[in-house]
Amino acid sequence: MNEERYILFDQYLQGELTVDEKDTFEKQLAENPELAEELETFKEMHLQLENKFGKESERQAFEQNLTRISDKYFKKKKTKVVSIQPWYYATAAASIIIIFGLFFFRYDQNPSFKDYNNPESAYFTERGVAEETLKKAEDDFNGKRYAKAIPLFETILKENHSPEIQYFYGISLVEESHYKKAEAVLNELISGNSIFKEKAKWYLALSKLKQRDYKACKEVLLTISEDFENYEDVEQLLEELN
């Protein structure tokens, strides 16, 4: 990943792009899974930096080091002059560090959402209610096109509020980082008595893990029944969190 792409990611996440630029970039994300994955990696890297350097003084010192590195690097390259804020230089420098394998700090050793995120495929048993939409939602979910699956699930749930649809809708929301909506859906399943109750707890824990709220993640994991089909994953994640 080059420094220009890092800057674009930052501009997108900080709301600095124009409406046209934002629409063009989001179209690229939808059409390019590799680009979308790089954006997720970038978001996680920034969250790690925020967690690592919680104090303002530590962040400033870190950014100063990175800025010095970026100054050296950019002097050697003939690049288009772009007017960017100082913190963009730190971001670009971070990309240089990653490219050359120079790590100036110890990364967070906590478990990663990606290590445990293995959603099962959707094979909906209920048919007859908006069947065409349901099949499209199933295909989009199984194809990891969660952003497309979400509005389809929302349409289906207006007519068929089944736990099965809720569950896969909740997973899609977690995948797209719509945490508040996702956790409302998952908590509703947890409060019920369907076969998706324990599965919903697991994905609620993963939602907390993705947000790096490790304490809340652990609290949810401790509520999961040992009868849960993937309880070995629960135990492993708890061990890594301890």
**Confidence (pLDDT) at 39:** 86
**Percent of the chain whose predicted confidence (pLDDT) is above 90:** 46
Q: Is the pLDDT of residue 152 over 80?
A: yes
**Confidence (pLDDT) at 83:** 44
Q: What does the DSSP assignment read for the chain?
A: --HHHHHHHHHHHTT-S-HHHHHHHHHHHHH-HHHHHHHHHHHHHHHHHHHHT-SHHHHHHHHHHHHHHHHHHHHTS--------HHHHHHHHHHHHHHHT--SSPPP-S--HHHH--PPPP-----SSSHHHHHHHHHHHHTT-HHHHHHHHHHHHTT---HHHHHHHHHHHHHTT-HHHHHHHHHHHHHS-STTHHHHHHHHHHHHHHTT-HHHHHHHHTTS-TTSTTHHHHHHHHHHH-
CA distance 173 to 203: 10
Rank 29-33, 76-80, 134-138 by mean pLDDT and report only the highest.
134-138
> Quick one: pLDDT band at residue 9, thresholds 50, 70, 90?
confident
Are the C-beta atoms of 7 and 91 separated by less than 8 Å? Answer: yes
Q: Which CATH superfamily is domain 113-241 in?
A: Tetratricopeptide repeat domain (1.25.40.10)
C-beta neighbour count of 175 within 10 angstroms: 24
CA distance 19 to 23: 6
Segment 153-175 shows an average pLDDT of 94
**Confidence (pLDDT) at 202:** 98
Q: Is the pLDDT of residue 43 over 90?
A: no
**Confidence (pLDDT) at 40:** 85
Are the C-beta atoms of 166 and 157 separated by less than 8 Å? Answer: yes
> Quick one: pLDDT band at residue 184, thresholds 50, 70, 90?
very high
Query: What are the structural domain ranges in the chain?
Result: 3-100, 113-241
**Confidence (pLDDT) at 163:** 95
**Percent of the chain whose predicted confidence (pLDDT) is above 70:** 70
Q: Which of 13 and 120 is assigned the larger pLDDT?
A: 120
Least confident of 48-62, 120-134, 190-204: 48-62
Please give the model's pTM, rounded to 2 decimal places: 0.58
* pLDDT, tens digit, 9 for 90 and up, residues 71-128: 554 454 444 444 445 445 555 555 545 544 434 444 456 898 999 999 999 988 655 5
